[in-house]
Amino acid sequence: MCGIIGHIAPLGLIPDQAAVRHGCNLLQHRGPNGSGIINLRQACLSHRRLSIIDLEGSSQPWTSNCGRYHIVFNGEIYNYLELRSELGHKGYEFRSHGDTEVLLNLYIAYGPHCLDQLNGMFAFAVWDEKDQSLFIARDRIGKKPLYYSQQKEGLVFASELKALSGFKFISNGIDMLAVNDFFAHQFIGEDRTIYSEVKKLPPAHSLFFQNNKISIRRYWIPPLPIATNYDEEYLSKELYSA
């Protein structure tokens, strides 16, 4: 399952390492096989691991061979072996046998368009130390959760809401629209969460953060059903039987 958390601080401030560690500890149930943290100039990333692929390797956060990029990743990339082969032909070298390094190299090679090639369930974050930018993304159906909050103290993200509880600059005020959603539908819709200052990244969306500015993009739309020539009576019966 795994769990991820991070804090990107603006210039003049430093990431809240204590809050990141606290959140990582709260995610222990998502990753009982190990944990890791990396502290950089403006970024602090942490990961809880449930070992499934490359049991002895692929510990996270994972850093690229060039040292510029760092990733924390929750999920599984089903076609990582095919992607690894393609990247190998492009000259990328690997020092692990898992899908984490493949995902990071795929992002290095294609940037945000790497999402077009992924078959899997995932929530991940890539920090570019040179450009001081963060890229986070969630899988097409939204099997893997990802929450974030932007404040003047920077951007924070995590796999679960409670993991953000250590960041004292995030209010725990309730979003009343979310309350209405829950009682009306037993589900909180859109990008809302129960907290007014925390949002969830919707499925099939990515987020780019740089210079304290966020841009969000939808990278996939479910295909429309194939048109049919069935008449209204037939369709009514199908709907009734369903």
Q: What is the pLDDT of residues 192-206, one digit of tens each?
A: 999 999 999 999 999
The set of residues, in sequence order, having a beta carbon less than 8 Å from that of 25 and lying 6+ positions away, is none
What domain range is 215 assigned to? Answer: 3-241
219 to each of 66, 142, 227, how far by Cα in Å?
A: 28, 13, 24
- Supply the CATH number for residue 84's domain: 3.60.20.10
- One of 2, 24, 44, 114 is an active-site residue; which one? 2
> Sorting pLDDT into bands at 50, 70 and 90, what band is 232?
confident
Is-catalytic flag, 2?
Answer: yes
Per-residue pLDDT at 123: 98
Number of C-beta neighbours around residue 176 at 10 A:
9
Q: What is the pLDDT of residues 127-173, one digit of tens each?
A: 999 999 999 999 999 999 999 999 999 999 999 999 999 999 999 99
**How many domains in the chain?**
1
